[in-house]
A and B are shown apart, each in its own frame.
Chain A
Amino acid sequence: MITKTAWKNIWRNKTRSLVVIASVTIGIFAGVFAVGVMNGAIDQRVDEVLENEVSHVQITHKDFRSNNDLGSYITGVNSIVENISSMEGVNAVTSRLHLVGMANTARKSAGVKIIGIKPMQEKKLLSLHQELMDGTGDYFEEERGELAYIGYDLAKNLNIIRYRITGDVISKLDSAGLPGEVISAITGFKGSRFDNEKSFKKEMRSLLTSEQESGFGRLILEEAQTFRKRAKFTLTFVDRNNNQTGGVFRVGGIYDIPNSMFESTMVFVRDSRLRSITEMPDNTAHNILISLDDVDDAGTMTEKLRKEYPDLEVMNWKEIQPDMAMMSEMAGAMYGFFMALILAALAFGIVNTMLMVVLERIKELGMLTAIGMNKKKVFRMIMTESVFLSLVGGIAGMIVSWIIIRITSSTGIRFSSMQEGFEAMGFSSHIYPSIGADFFLVVTVLIIITGILSSVYPALKALKLDPADALRTE
């Protein structure tokens, strides 16, 4: 009876109740969705680190991480790799050579890390080979020794990627549905060539309005970029005897990942080629990468390997990328805090509304006490009303969030205008929001708690009313 009356009371002032409910709905949705986007971005970043960059566990020479010295290498690598490969829970193992050097083209040079890999083995651990950009090569399919796999950003920095507006490009853009005035504007610079992104963008800015540029600039840039297959460049570094040395390499593929730092520094070449230039002895490596069947076993596997190889340094991905591990661990607390903030704001709205309700209904509440409704029941009625307000809005907010996150988690959301900023921090600008069931549960509980907490004060106000005074109010 009280519940039913409370529910009906909510609809006495439809507009006001709907405004409160809508603000709760929007508030909850905004909070949950923002958390979904953050969570999705962090999950993607962590996956990216695990799948393309670090794998799960790594082994190095005790000194290698501090001095990065070519001489700090692991010996007897083959038997170590074989031993670890046979362990339970291990998916694949590979070894790498690491050196620091320079990459040079005719006009440009850049500091890089040169990684000697065994390509077919790498494929079993990492998926960097799947990030190969269309038409730039074929990873290490071809048996040529001088192939290198470099990042998109490095390719741009070395002027390996250039820009050209050809008739072909224009007709492609035309069929992609670009507006006529944009097409005719770029037709104006048909035939021009640009060495780098900067000069191309400068030209584009002079031809297009800023609106056109932000809408289609990226697409034009992507269509206009060209690269010579197997472009030549040199890698220089010091060998084991501290002699300056190096070699000529050819681009065998360009990878594109959301981490521009990684892209602009990591150059992958064949282990055999690097080994012969540096005169590194056989059966050695700087780094052993291990991928596990279950990433959650990284901690225990690390402990196990530490016991097995006390002279080597064993680290899991969380230790190698502590910022990443901390981010994903702190995320939960951050989301909770964020939601609590939103709920606190909503609670004020509910308290305010319910205080107005009590004020408006003083006379009626006096009458209810007079006819025998006791304080406990008056308290319960007002409380039920506030809880209804927050619950209806809260549930609606949760449903809307759930639906929108369901949809966007498969389509993803593009933050094109923020792409550069995102990638500088290693985050993708194409984010797939995601939220755990536990978070949904926690938020639902928080909404109920908020509803109850924000109903207490107005209900107490109603309790304090003196029925005789209440009945006399006009």
Chain B
Amino acid sequence: MKVLELNNVHKVYNTTHVEVHAVNGVDLDFEEGEFAAIVGPSGSGKTTLLNMIGGLDTPSEGKIEVNSTDLSTLKSSAVIDFRMRNIGFVFQSYNLIPVLTAKENVEFIMNLQKWPKKKRDERTMELLKAVGLGERAHSKPSQLSGGQQQRVAVARALASKPKFVLADEPTANLDSKSTETLLDIMEKLNRDENITFIFSTHDARVVKKARRVITLEDGKVVSDETRDK
């Protein structure tokens, strides 16, 4: 089943001096259950592309359909709501609310969606266990390592059972051991629960784990390979 479709997507930033063509005509399809990496050097348009897919940014041209919904037809408030229900986000840093514990961070979205407490608690603990942090539920972000924080962020991204998770360079600030743990967890969730992951990276070790690798250069897709694993 197709979860995501991009048609001739462009993004032009008008800065005071020059026009920056950050994304330059991208056509892509994603099926449910994919584990895809978007790779490319810094400035190639990875973040811009992920932001547009997630509805944080709007394309200057072209169409993005998530679950057959054209994001450009939604009002901005509806986009936020749509995002909350359908898309999980993990960023490179600043993922967590520093004043809340790991558990409260994961719960946050479920709270906004007014889940009943019992269901919320169950799901939160299930997710924290899935990312190997069942024991650290009551730790504040400042008491967790960078890798642990990213795992909490993954758990939170999955909280509202989204169709897919977008992760923008989730391992950029992690050491290689934490990187490996995080990717193993993501892979396991992908395999066991059929969650679609689309993540950007410029780390070769991360690329190795992906089953599909899309390479961007100057805002254009220069290669798109699927490997069997």
Residues of A at the B interface (CB closer than 8 Å) are: 1, 5, 8-9, 11-12, 363-364, 367-377, 467-468, 471-472
Contact check: which of B56, B99, B112 meets A370 at CB < 8 Å? B56
Interface SS, B side? helix
Q: Is the Cβ of A468 less than 8 Å from the Cβ of B56?
A: yes
Residue of A whose beta carbon sits closest to that of B92: A471
Cβ of B200 < 8 Å from any Cβ of A? no
User: Which B residues are CB-close (under 8 A) to A374?
Assistant: 77, 80-81, 84, 112
**What does the 1/0 interface line of B68-101 toward A look like (CB < 8 Å)?**
0000000011001101110011010011011110
Q: Is the Cβ of A371 less than 8 Å from the Cβ of B56?
A: no
Q: Is the Cβ of A371 less than 8 Å from the Cβ of B94?
A: no
Q: Is the Cβ of A372 less than 8 Å from the Cβ of B57?
A: no
In the complex, what's the smallest C-beta–C-beta distance from B129 to chain A, in angstroms? Answer: 21
Known contacts A468-B57, A471-B91, A371 near B108 by CB under 8 Å: yes
A377 to B80, CA, bound (A): 11
Q: Is the Cβ of B97 less than 8 Å from the Cβ of A364?
A: yes
Q: Is the Cβ of B81 less than 8 Å from the Cβ of A370?
A: no
* B interface residues, tally (CB under 8 Å): 29
In the complex, what's the smallest C-beta–C-beta distance from A415 to chain B, in angstroms? Answer: 48
Q: Is the Cβ of B56 less than 8 Å from the Cβ of A367?
A: no
A468 to B95, CA, bound (A): 14
In the complex, what's the smallest C-beta–C-beta distance from A188 to chain B, in angstroms? Answer: 71
User: Which B residues are CB-close (under 8 A) to A371?
Assistant: 83-84, 88-89, 108-109, 156-157
Q: Is the Cβ of B83 less than 8 Å from the Cβ of A372?
A: yes
Residues of B at the A interface (CB closer than 8 Å) are: 47, 51, 54, 56-57, 76-77, 80-81, 83-85, 88-89, 91, 94-95, 97-100, 107-109, 111-112, 156-157, 160
Q: Which 9 A-B pairs give the minimum distances between C-beta atoms?
A: A372-B84, A8-B99, A1-B111, A468-B57, A468-B56, A374-B80, A363-B94, A467-B56, A468-B51
Q: Is the Cβ of A367 less than 8 Å from the Cβ of B99?
A: no
Contact check: which of A9, A11, A372, A472 meets B112 at CB < 8 Å? A372
Contact check: which of A12, A363, A364, A369 meets B80 at CB < 8 Å? A369
Known contacts A367-B95, A471-B56, A372 near B100 by CB under 8 Å: no
Known contacts A1-B112, A367-B91, A370-B91, A375 near B80 by CB under 8 Å: yes
5 A-B residue pairs with Cβ-Cβ distance under 8 Å, sorted by A, are A364-B98, A371-B84, A373-B84, A373-B109, A375-B76
Residue of B whose beta carbon sits closest to that of A470: B56
User: Which A residues are CB-close (under 8 A) to B47?
Assistant: 472
> Can you name 7 extra interface pairs (CB under 8 A) apart from A368-B97, A372-B160?
A1-B111, A370-B89, A371-B109, A371-B156, A374-B84, A375-B80, A468-B57
User: Which B residues are CB-close (under 8 A) to A364?
Assistant: 94, 97-98
Residue of A whose beta carbon sits closest to that of B93: A363
A370 to B93, CA, bound (A): 13
A62 to B89, CA, bound (A): 90
A471 to B100, CA, bound (A): 20
In the complex, what's the smallest C-beta–C-beta distance from A73 to chain B, in angstroms? Answer: 82
Residue of B whose beta carbon sits closest to that of A367: B94
Contact check: which of B77, B85, B107 meets A375 at CB < 8 Å? B77
A364 to B98, CA, bound (A): 9
Q: Is the Cβ of B111 less than 8 Å from the Cβ of A370?
A: no
Q: Is the Cβ of A373 less than 8 Å from the Cβ of B80?
A: yes
In the complex, what's the smallest C-beta–C-beta distance from A465 to chain B, in angstroms? Answer: 11
A11 to B57, CA, bound (A): 32
Residue of B whose beta carbon sits closest to that of A363: B94
Q: Is the Cβ of A372 less than 8 Å from the Cβ of B80?
A: yes
A467 to B51, CA, bound (A): 9
Residue of A whose beta carbon sits closest to that of B94: A363
Residue of B whose beta carbon sits closest to that of A373: B112
A426 to B115, CA, bound (A): 68
A1 to B107, CA, bound (A): 10
Residue of B whose beta carbon sits closest to that of A8: B99
User: Which A residues are CB-close (under 8 A) to B98?
Assistant: 12, 364
User: Which A residues are CB-close (under 8 A) to B91?
Assistant: 367, 370, 471
In the complex, what's the smallest C-beta–C-beta distance from B22 to chain A, in angstroms? Answer: 11
User: Which A residues are CB-close (under 8 A) to B56?
Assistant: 369-370, 467-468, 471
User: Which B residues are CB-close (under 8 A) to A11?
Assistant: 99
Residue of B whose beta carbon sits closest to that of A473: B94
User: Which A residues are CB-close (under 8 A) to B160?
Assistant: 372
A467 to B57, CA, bound (A): 8
User: Which B residues are CB-close (under 8 A) to A1?
Assistant: 107-108, 111-112
User: Which B residues are CB-close (under 8 A) to A468?
Assistant: 51, 56-57
